[in-house]
């Protein structure tokens, strides 16, 4: 542990400011609370919002897991984990169940979150209305008036142009029947996991200087229409080439040598756990 820095990198004043904003965010689910967003030793837009939330929350007894697009070992995840560990000395894990604090970029883990865990999501664009309204003061007004026809119109236009909603990731959700919220660029597959989740979900956007939250057991509904329902990605008939799992979010890979498409679990730690389970059975 590097003792040249204060515990968890930040000075106490910075932590307090983020903490005050976070408590407000929990009290107003889906509302983007502005915060000061400190300069971090990683570039803005590389997870500084999530990192600041993690650093303001973390204590000596926490067990940290950091994932980036489902992987524990990608550059972004490893660097964030290193920075947090270096300044706090906390234990890290790859097992979702063991973690008390999970920072994630663009995925909600496959293993269901449990009570007492906190999931921190990194958010590049926290404003779901930004696609059609560039002015911050106008989007604040639209949120204040619960004027979300533009959000539905955006989806409507996609249906008119392409025959279905083409959001891919970051499909907007309605939180607690009040605020339309960007769930961060998680795949549509993960949107239903936010609904009535057992864990607290905090979302941080460092560059855009916003934090927001989805408390446990909160109603989170993906925007859709009566005749065009929200549809998560379907992996019907497909399975992971390594562990054989079905019913999980799969990455599509092209094996160029064999010229065929293969699928693999996106959540690497889940895949590894499944593989280890299989091996244990084999040994016995």
Partner 1 sequence: MKLDAVHYLQAVYRKMVDSASRPGHISDLRKEAGLAGTITGCSPSLLVMALTLLDQEVTFSVISNQADKVSKLINQLTYAKQTETAYADYIFILGDASRGALAEAIEKAKPGTLKNPHGSGTIIAEVDSVISGDPLFLTGPGIEETETVFMNVRDSWVEARRDKNREFPLGVDLMFIDQHHQLLYLPRTTQITESQVVA
Q: Which residues bind partner 1 (CB under 8 A)?
A: 6-8, 12-13, 15-17, 19-29, 31, 33-34, 56-60, 116, 118, 140-141, 143-145, 176, 178-179, 196, 200, 213, 215-219
Closest contact distance (angstroms) between CB of 9 and partner 1 is 12
Closest CB to partner 1 among 182 and 265? 182
Given the residues 206, 247, 265, 282, select the one marked as catalytic.
265
Phi, psi of 192, rounded to the nearest 5 degrees = -60, -20
Given the residues 30, 47, 204, 206, select the one marked as catalytic.
30
What whole-number distance in Å separates Cα of residue 278 and Cα of residue 274? 6
Closest CB to partner 1 among 95 and 178? 178
What whole-number distance in Å separates Cα of residue 125 and Cα of residue 185? 9
243 catalytic? Reply is yes
CA 244 to each of CA 33, 78, 232, 239, 266: distance values in angstroms, whole numbers, following the listed order: 42, 27, 21, 5, 13
Tokens found for residue 96? 């979702």
Closest contact distance (angstroms) between CB of 94 and partner 1 is 23
**Length of the chain as a residue count:** 284
Closest CA to 189 of 271, 110, 131: 110
Closest contact distance (angstroms) between CB of 14 and partner 1 is 10
Closest contact distance (angstroms) between CB of 31 and partner 1 is 6
Q: Are 91 and 50 in contact, with CB atoms under 8 Å apart?
A: no
Q: Are 206 and 49 in contact, with CB atoms under 8 Å apart?
A: yes
Strands 91-92 and 260-265: unpaired
Closest contact distance (angstroms) between CB of 199 and partner 1 is 9
Given the residues 47, 240, 244, 282, select the one marked as catalytic.
240
85 catalytic? Reply is no
Given the residues 43, 49, 243, 247, select the one marked as catalytic.
243
240 catalytic? Reply is yes
Tokens found for residue 107? 């995925």
What whole-number distance in Å separates Cα of residue 50 and Cα of residue 80? 10
Closest contact distance (angstroms) between CB of 23 and partner 1 is 6
Helix (H) or strand (E) holding 3: none
Closest CB to partner 1 among 67 and 101? 101
User: What sign results for the dihedral spanned by CA atoms 69, 70, 75, 81?
Assistant: positive
Given the residues 47, 70, 271, 282, select the one marked as catalytic.
271
Closest CB to partner 1 among 35 and 249? 35
Closest CB to partner 1 among 18 and 243? 18
Helix (H, G, I), strand (E, B) or coil at 172: coil
Closest CB to partner 1 among 16 and 82? 16
- The residues assigned a catalytic role are 30, 240, 243, 265, 271
């Amino acid at each position: 542990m590097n003792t040249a820095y204060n515990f968890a990198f930040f000075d106490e004043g910075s932590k307090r400011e983020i903490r005050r904003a976070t408590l407000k965010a929990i009290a107003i689910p889906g509302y983007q609370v502005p915060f000061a967003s400190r300069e971090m030793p990683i570039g803005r837009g590389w997870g500084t919002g999530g990192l600041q939330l993690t650093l303001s929350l973390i204590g000596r007894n926490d067990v940290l897991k950091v994932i980036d697009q489902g992987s524990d070992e990608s550059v972004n995840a490893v660097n964030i984990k290193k920075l947090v560990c270096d300044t706090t000395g906390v234990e890290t894990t790859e097992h979702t169940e063991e973690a008390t604090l999970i920072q994630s970029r663009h995925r909600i883990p496959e293993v269901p979150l449990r009570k007492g865990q906190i999931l921190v999501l990194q958010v590049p664009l926290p404003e779901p209305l930004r696609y059609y309204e560039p002015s911050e003061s106008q989007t604040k007004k639209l949120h204040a008036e619960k004027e979300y026809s533009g959000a539905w119109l955006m989806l409507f236009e996609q249906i008119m142009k392409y025959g279905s909603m083409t959001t891919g990731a970051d499909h907007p959700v309605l939180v607690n029947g009040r605020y339309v919220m960007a769930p961060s660029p998680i795949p549509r597959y993960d949107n239903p996991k936010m609904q009535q989740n057992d864990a607290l979900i905090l979302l941080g956007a460092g560059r855009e200087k916003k934090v927001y939250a989805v408390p446990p057991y909160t109603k989170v509904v993906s925007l859709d229409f009566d005749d065009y329902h929200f549809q998560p990605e379907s992996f019907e008939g497909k399975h992971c080439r390594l562990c054989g799992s079905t019913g999980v979010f799969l990455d599509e890979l092209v094996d160029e040598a064999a010229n065929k498409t293969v699928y693999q679990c996106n959540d690497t730690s889940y895949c590894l756990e499944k593989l280890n389970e299989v091996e244990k059975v084999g040994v016995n």
